[in-house]
Structure 1
Amino acid sequence: MLRNYFKITLRNLWRNPLYSGLNVVGLTLGLTCGLLITAYVLDELNYDRFHTNADQIVLLQQFEESGMSGGQLATDFKERFAQVEQVVRLKQAAPLLTTPSLSSYEENFFFADSTAFDVFTLPLVQGNPKTALAERYGVVLSETMAQKYFPRQNPLGQTLRYDNKHTLRVTGVMRDLPGNSHHKIHFLANYANANELLGWDVTTNLWAGSTWTYLLLAPGASLQTLAAQFPAYLKSLNDPNVGVWKLNLIPLTDLYLRTSLIAPNRLMYVTIFSVVALLIMAMAAFNYVNLATAIATKRAREVGIRKVLGSTSGQLWSQFFGETVLFVGIALVLTALVVPLVLPAFNELANKSLNLSTLFTSVRMAGLLLGLTVLCFLAGGYPAFVLSSFRPAAVLKGSLAGLLGGTRTPLLRQALLRQALVVGQFAVSIVMIVATLVVSSQLRYVQTKNLGYQREQVLVLNLHDASVEAKLRFKQEVQKLSGVVSATQSYSVPGSGSLRGEKLVADYAPKGVTDLTINRQSIDENFLETFGIKLIQGRNLDADRPADRKVFLVNEAAMKYFGWDNIEGKMTGYYTFEYDPSGGYREVPQRGQVVGVVADYHQKNLKNTIPPMIFSLLDGWENQVSVKLEAGNVPASMEQVERLWKQTFPATPFDYEFLDDFFQRTYRADRQAGQVFGLFAVLAVLISSLGLFGLGTFAAERRTKEIGVRKVMGASLTSILTLLSVDFLRLVVISLLIATPIAWYAMSRWLQDFAYKTDIQWWIFVVAGVLAVGIALLTVSYQSLKAALMNPVKSLRSE
């Protein structure tokens, strides 16, 4: 019997190649999209879950919008709180690492406690995890870095020069971390040695250690219980700075998905792409249902004869459902061939390193099989029911009215179902088109918005740990180059998001304000000119005036924050700290007159409002030198700057980046998500069009005689095309009406994440509607035109 079913299925495929091809292509596209999105979503959901203790690890957050804390906190928490089983600190650096044959800055260099191997899962392929970080000047390399610095050599025992000042010995080689790790760790050095190598205190500092502090909680420990002890702990410190702390515990598994400390909006994108995957798979299934029920009447006689010969409805249902399983099986084989071909391009588009082998765990394979089973029932259950329910007497008499029960009601229900599915498919497609257009519009708005500074032709150089004198000398020399408009030294650059968080002197706090945090930017007198930032009141800072070491500029946001209309007689200030021999410290206010007001500019991205900022002259910590180059002569000017760099810092690689690159990197995640979403929007439209093409073909075939009669009676080509197309276009218009409010609501929610955003313009919905109608018209017009041009004599002879 199974063999007979299989033969009948193959004959049916051969007899209806167009519908069979459309079904297979639609299901293949659906499965391909589903697998790619599933791999993407699983990679996002499994961020940091490769650590064995992932569910017990939390990040200790000291300040809002920062994942870093003082190094002393880890020691305190390990000693004071029984719920904390172990602690580990990671301090990121960007040293210059050198071997006799290679010199390179490494941004993924971390100082770590030796407990890193107890808290995190960091398997060593060489070396002993118990001793690898015990050696004072020891360093552990990733496999990639071992190959980079010591190709075709045993890296153990080899040495690296750190900033041309210290020598580190390789004590271990660590397996490369998966791509879904929130830290991309390439080097681990002994945290106890960080003070010496960095040149400042990161181990006993309570408030400025810039350290990532992780706690391994004891089994059963409660975050709420631990957090409830924070007020008493803060009080016991008797530290004047705790007023600006915001101690918080973030589970490791939430760090990437549910905070913006690593990347913004990740959970939202995971949700969106999961829904998109389900919708695209459903659209592929709907295509199958539409085409299978549409051609059901073609197989009516087959069903009638087989029922007369004794076949039961259950047997017929099994056969027709088996056909669906065969279609899905063929599509699955094609998907297995297509996905490896398109995966590299998808990885590049999504900035991922996805590997489909990660899907093939026992749990995920079970989920995949369950999903395919659901797809088979969704796509094949109803068509099998329709075909197996035909009444043999009515079929053999040629009566369509009696196929399913003596009236046309069941056939009408089938037609309404097909129409509803077409409406649903195009509604989804229109929503995705609108979403793609809105994302593109917002990103275009970001690109073209006046940010309050000029970012074109600005070269940003990182002087790292060069001396204060060397930095100043280099800036002065680079300003003399012929291709340089101006140069400035500053703590950070506009658009980078980096600012110094200071504590405002309490005397200057606005009434009712309890959070005394204020942002400070340290600059030189050329900062405003180099970045094209306007001075709207008062004067600029002047390095030649000794008194200007104790004066400030403020931005417009600070004027509103302080409630000032002008700066006449206004003062402000922040606290620095003075250490005493016992290891304690006291606050030292830095007070000064406000001498100028700077126009607001976006130091951070457009997802953040412009914060109140104060500006002061350089104090020695500034590593960034930004060079404004003449337009039209950038390559030659770059060569001049590079020559000067090599003369000034001959042992240091030329480390630069254009300011535009900072800007582009800020919105990279949103841009990539928009590109991925746009890709799947195109595929959703394609799947919908395949189904519409099949239905248009079937409709034209069903009405062949009617078209012939109309042509004999004098109907024009236009009227026939309108007759065949108008029903489908009506469905697309209904889809547009349904999709418009859904798309508007969804994209309004997405735009809420931006403090500065474009409006959702009416033309976006017009474009989406025109695209949908145009695609539908093109899809059905081919078969409609073919039917309209057919010889009416042939049409009237057709069965």
Structure 2
Amino acid sequence: MFKNYLKVAWRNLTKHKVFSFINIMGLAVGLTACFLIFLYVKFEVSYDSFHSKKDRIFRLSTDVKTPSDVMNVAISSWAIGPAIKAEFPEIESCTRVSGDNLLVKRGDVKFQETEALAVDSNFLQVFDYKLAKGNPAEAFKEPWSVVFTESSAKKYFGNENPIGQTVLITGEQKPAKVTGILADMPENTQLKADMFLSMSTYHQERDEMWGNYGAVTYMLLKPGVSAAALNKKFPGFVKRRIGKMEDEMQMHATYILEPLKNLYLHSKREGMETGSITNVYIFSVVAVFILLIACINFVNLTTARATERAKEVGIRKVAGAQKTQLAGQFLGETLLICIAAFLFALLLSGCLLPLFNQLAGKKVSVNIFHNGPEVLLLLVASLGIGLLAGLYPALVLSNFQPIAVLKGRFSSGAKGLILRRGLVVTQFTISICLMVATIIVYKQMNYMNSRDLGFVKDQILVLETRGDEGQEALKNAVASIPGVQSVSLSASVPGGGNSSAYSEIQNQQGAFQVTNLNAYFVDFDFMNQYGMKIIAGRGFSRDFGADTTQAMILNEKAVKRLGFASAKDAVGKHFKQWGREGTIVGVVKDFHFRSLLREIEPLSIRIEPQNCELLSVKVSAKSASKVIAELESKWKVLIPKRPFNYFFLDEYFDKQYRGQKQFGKLFFNFSILAIFISCLGLLGLASYSTLQRTREIGVRKVLGASVSNIVNLLSTEFLKLVLVSFVVAVPLSWFFMHRWLKEFAYRSDIPWWVFAAAGVIAILVTLFTISFQAIKAAVANPVRSLRTE
């Protein structure tokens, strides 16, 4: 019996090859999309989950409050970690991490290691990063101990054993001993680095720096200790230890333990790589939607075939077949299709995974066979879909009345029609929502790319001199290169990091107001080169000798924070910042020195060449390649100790939106897949409807109906369903995309035409999908359809 069922199933599949292919591939595409999204979501939520002590590791984050502002940062003061560890027995261990940028040399090989970390000696006892070579307990014990990852070690040592050998680091070329080789770090970790340097290498007075914030501090709590209870004890401790100092500085810190497992997706603090829990939720919903659409599509296509097998059912029932036997057979056929779809989904997933990794901007998986449990889950999902989605068609087919179907009078009834229409409405509601969302995502990306940033970023080349003693000579030499329009030095450029400076500035009432300001250190040429506009007072000028030590420029946000009614009121006020005192000489128009994801913050700008380590070179578009070659030539002569590293500012600035752009690309591709599967479902219903109305169409044609009349008749029914979907989709899509846009400090609006465009696209897609079936039915010979009546 079972063998016979398989034969019948195979014959039906091969008899209608195109129909079977569409049915299988529609489900396979849905399963593939869902599987890839699942891998992405699993990867995002797995950040730092490989640490065995992850549930007990917490980051000590800080809220720094002054009379003017509150900063929420991921870092803490250098001294607080060890002091808290010594005070509270609930804490098992404390380890600190600090990012660094180091020049590393070995013989003629030299690299600027931008991804370097200084770590405490117990770093590898808290975190489970594995040493391929070396002793974890000894690796960071001594000053000037360095650990490379396996891939970075090959740059300096090739196939040699690096353990015990030395490299020269920093501008002073101090010898550092290689004490370990770390297995390349997994991508799903926040603490990414190519090399590590022992924290004891740096000055030990850091442990007494209560007011200097630069360390990312992690606490390993003892088993059973409540982080919430420990948080409540910190304010009293801080007040006892440094309460007087904080009162004098008018700067008070509140320390908070944040769980390691929540940092990547849930923490919004500055200073660490973060993901978006909103994007994870969105993609999870999209996966569910795609799977739902695939199931609906599967039901519609299978039901559309039901009428073609009605006579088969009638004959088998007359021959004595029971309902359960018929339902079991048709359900088995459905499961067979699902298994075939599962195999195609595996093949598609394997082929598309490299492209998916590229779109996601990260390697979410090496290959599908590294995800055994996920593949098994995909198989279970396929079988589950077969049971759930195949149940209704199986019941429809097995319930046909033999007398009616053998006489040619059969219909699935009003309930079946309502269900199928409801399924199509659901499909196109989802599809229209995804269309609207895709348009809004791309509109926001275009808005960020085209918004006036308040400075010029095009055709600016930035060289990383890192404060080398030859940078001033290089600047003078570069200025004479043909094609170079201007040159300047600075400590920061828009889109990069900058210092946060404790400042005291006279406010409207003449009193010194304490505040934390972002700080740019520049030379005299920087602001002119970047096209920044002075709206009050003046810019820096070599005509004023005191500008090198006693002048500051504020942006508009800083002026507002200090309470000035207008920008010109701030000019002439006095400031104190990092041991310097002087006068505010001008106010610059706000510019986006960080991404549009964040609001513009208060900023101070000072002339301080000794802190500058970036050389900005504005070049003409036509001579860029020649200028770069000449720059490298002069670099090798004037800064021979360092590798020639540069980047274009526009590309550097736009990297801040990499996550959003990748989100947009993924969203667009999955939206297209969802719409494609929806079209297959619509094709199924169009096919079913056409078969049900074959005789009606024949009668209408005999009575004189034209081809256009028949096409309009069949199309109108589906267009009504799309219009219902549109009415439902508009408020839903507006609500969810309005919430998504709130993640951006500067965002585009949601105009009416976005919904209109999605509606028009849906109508055109509907007409295109059903036109083939409608025209085929309209041009068919009515005699053939009426012959059996």
User: TM-score interval w.r.t. the shorter chain?
Assistant: over 0.9
Equivalent of 1:132 in 116, 139, 146:
139
Equivalent of 1:413 in 388, 407, 415:
415
SS, match of residue 251 in structure 2: helix
Is 2:151 the counterpart of 1:144?
A: yes
Is 2:108 the counterpart of 1:98?
A: no
Distance change (3 Å), C-alpha of 1:411 and 1:16: farther
- Structure 1 residue 348, shift from structure 2 partner: 0.7
Equivalent of 2:255 in 225, 228, 247:
247
- Structure 1 residue 341, shift from structure 2 partner: 0.9
Is 2:21 the counterpart of 1:18?
A: no
Counterpart mapping for 1:270-419 below 5 A: 270-355=280-365, 364=374, 367-400=377-410, 411-419=413-421
Do the aligned partners of 1:202 and 1:209 also contact (CA within 8 Å) in 2? Answer: no
Distance change (3 Å), C-alpha of 1:569 and 1:690: closer
- Structure 1 residue 295, shift from structure 2 partner: 2.4
Distance change (3 Å), C-alpha of 1:708 and 1:395: closer
Equivalent of 2:82 in 64, 72, 75:
75
Measure the CA separation in 1 of the matches of 2:491 and 2:254. 24
**Partner deviation per Cα, 1:474-525 (whole Å, 9 max, x = no partner):** 33332333322222222211233x3322223276388999983222222222
Task: Look up the match of 2:483.
Answer: 483
Measure the CA separation in 1 of the matches of 2:640 and 2:543. 30
SS, match of residue 94 in structure 1: strand
Distance change (3 Å), C-alpha of 1:358 and 1:695: closer
Is 2:703 the counterpart of 1:713?
A: yes
Q: How many residues in Structure 1 have an aligned counterpart in Structure 2?
A: 772
Do the aligned partners of 1:303 and 1:390 also contact (CA within 8 Å) in 2? Answer: yes
Measure the CA separation in 2 of the matches of 1:218 and 1:257. 25
Task: Look up the match of 1:207.
Answer: 211
Task: Look up the match of 2:753.
Answer: 763
- Structure 1 residue 667, shift from structure 2 partner: 0.5
Task: Look up the match of 2:432.
Answer: 430
Structure 1 counterpart of 2:637, one-letter code: Q
Do the aligned partners of 1:108 and 1:185 also contact (CA within 8 Å) in 2? Answer: yes
Do the aligned partners of 1:71 and 1:210 also contact (CA within 8 Å) in 2? Answer: yes
- Structure 1 residue 372, shift from structure 2 partner: 3.3
SS, match of residue 107 in structure 1: strand
Measure the CA separation in 2 of the matches of 1:302 and 1:568. 90
**Partner deviation per Cα, 1:234-266 (whole Å, 9 max, x = no partner):** 212233357253422221111111123444551
Distance change (3 Å), C-alpha of 1:16 and 1:512: farther
Task: Look up the match of 1:519.
Answer: 518
Question: Structure 2 length normalisation: TM-score?
Answer: 0.93
Is 2:565 the counterpart of 1:564?
A: yes
Measure the CA separation in 2 of the matches of 1:246 and 1:630. 50
Counterpart mapping for 1:147-158 below 5 A: 147-158=154-165
**Which range moves more in the overlay, 551-560 or 335-344?**
551-560
Is 2:722 the counterpart of 1:732?
A: yes
Do the aligned partners of 2:490 and 2:609 also contact (CA within 8 Å) in 1? Answer: no
Distance change (3 Å), C-alpha of 1:134 and 1:798: farther
Structure 2 counterpart of 1:239, one-letter code: M
- Structure 1 residue 794, shift from structure 2 partner: 4.0
Do the aligned partners of 2:504 and 2:577 also contact (CA within 8 Å) in 1? Answer: yes
Do the aligned partners of 1:347 and 1:354 also contact (CA within 8 Å) in 2? Answer: yes
- Structure 1 residue 14, shift from structure 2 partner: 2.4
Measure the CA separation in 2 of the matches of 1:351 and 1:486. 35
Do the aligned partners of 2:508 and 2:564 also contact (CA within 8 Å) in 1? Answer: no
Do the aligned partners of 2:538 and 2:585 also contact (CA within 8 Å) in 1? Answer: yes
- Structure 1 residue 312, shift from structure 2 partner: 2.9
- Structure 1 residue 301, shift from structure 2 partner: 2.9
Task: Look up the match of 2:587.
Answer: 597
SS, match of residue 212 in structure 1: strand
Distance change (3 Å), C-alpha of 1:605 and 1:65: farther
Distance change (3 Å), C-alpha of 1:639 and 1:567: farther
Structure 1 counterpart of 2:309, one-letter code: R
- Structure 1 residue 414, shift from structure 2 partner: 0.8
Distance change (3 Å), C-alpha of 1:619 and 1:638: closer
Do the aligned partners of 2:60 and 2:76 also contact (CA within 8 Å) in 1? Answer: yes
**Which range moves more in the overlay, 155-164 or 506-515?**
506-515
Question: Structure 1 length normalisation: TM-score?
Answer: 0.92
Task: Look up the match of 2:229.
Answer: 225
- Structure 1 residue 358, shift from structure 2 partner: 7.4
Task: Look up the match of 1:405.
Answer: none
**Partner deviation per Cα, 1:607-648 (whole Å, 9 max, x = no partner):** 222222222211622212212222432222222322222221
SS, match of residue 76 in structure 2: coil
**Partner deviation per Cα, 1:701-733 (whole Å, 9 max, x = no partner):** 333343333333332222121122111122112
Measure the CA separation in 1 of the matches of 2:399 and 2:461. 74
Distance change (3 Å), C-alpha of 1:447 and 1:187: same
- Structure 1 residue 659, shift from structure 2 partner: 0.8
Equivalent of 1:695 in 672, 685, 692:
685
Is 2:476 the counterpart of 1:445?
A: no
Structure 1 alignment gaps of length 5 or more: 402-409, 577-587
Do the aligned partners of 1:419 and 1:731 also contact (CA within 8 Å) in 2? Answer: yes
- Structure 1 residue 123, shift from structure 2 partner: 1.2
Distance change (3 Å), C-alpha of 1:636 and 1:493: same
Distance change (3 Å), C-alpha of 1:143 and 1:44: same
Measure the CA separation in 2 of the matches of 1:428 and 1:531. 46
- Structure 1 residue 137, shift from structure 2 partner: 2.7
Equivalent of 2:174 in 166, 178, 182:
166
**Which range moves more in the overlay, 657-666 or 17-26?**
17-26
Structure 1 counterpart of 2:454, one-letter code: G
Distance change (3 Å), C-alpha of 1:337 and 1:763: same
Do the aligned partners of 1:707 and 1:720 also contact (CA within 8 Å) in 2? Answer: yes
Structure 1 counterpart of 2:217, one-letter code: T
Do the aligned partners of 1:39 and 1:356 also contact (CA within 8 Å) in 2? Answer: no
Task: Look up the match of 1:454.
Answer: 456
SS, match of residue 602 in structure 1: coil
Task: Look up the match of 1:535.
Answer: 534
**Which range moves more in the overlay, 367-376 or 591-600?**
367-376
Distance change (3 Å), C-alpha of 1:317 and 1:701: closer
Structure 1 counterpart of 2:183, one-letter code: R
Do the aligned partners of 1:141 and 1:174 also contact (CA within 8 Å) in 2? Answer: yes
Equivalent of 2:622 in 632, 635, 641:
632
Task: Look up the match of 1:584.
Answer: none
Task: Look up the match of 2:202.
Answer: 194
Distance change (3 Å), C-alpha of 1:533 and 1:88: same
Task: Look up the match of 1:180.
Answer: 188
Measure the CA separation in 2 of the matches of 1:72 and 1:207. 8
Do the aligned partners of 1:244 and 1:515 also contact (CA within 8 Å) in 2? Answer: no
Measure the CA separation in 2 of the matches of 1:57 and 1:510. 47
Is 2:4 the counterpart of 1:4?
A: yes
Distance change (3 Å), C-alpha of 1:509 and 1:494: farther
Distance change (3 Å), C-alpha of 1:242 and 1:53: farther
Do the aligned partners of 2:118 and 2:197 also contact (CA within 8 Å) in 1? Answer: yes
**Which range moves more in the overlay, 1-10 or 477-486?**
477-486
Task: Look up the match of 1:499.
Answer: 498
Distance change (3 Å), C-alpha of 1:793 and 1:300: closer
Do the aligned partners of 2:301 and 2:685 also contact (CA within 8 Å) in 1? Answer: yes
- Structure 1 residue 29, shift from structure 2 partner: 0.3
Measure the CA separation in 2 of the matches of 1:639 and 1:125. 40
Measure the CA separation in 2 of the matches of 1:512 and 1:571. 10
Is 2:694 the counterpart of 1:686?
A: no
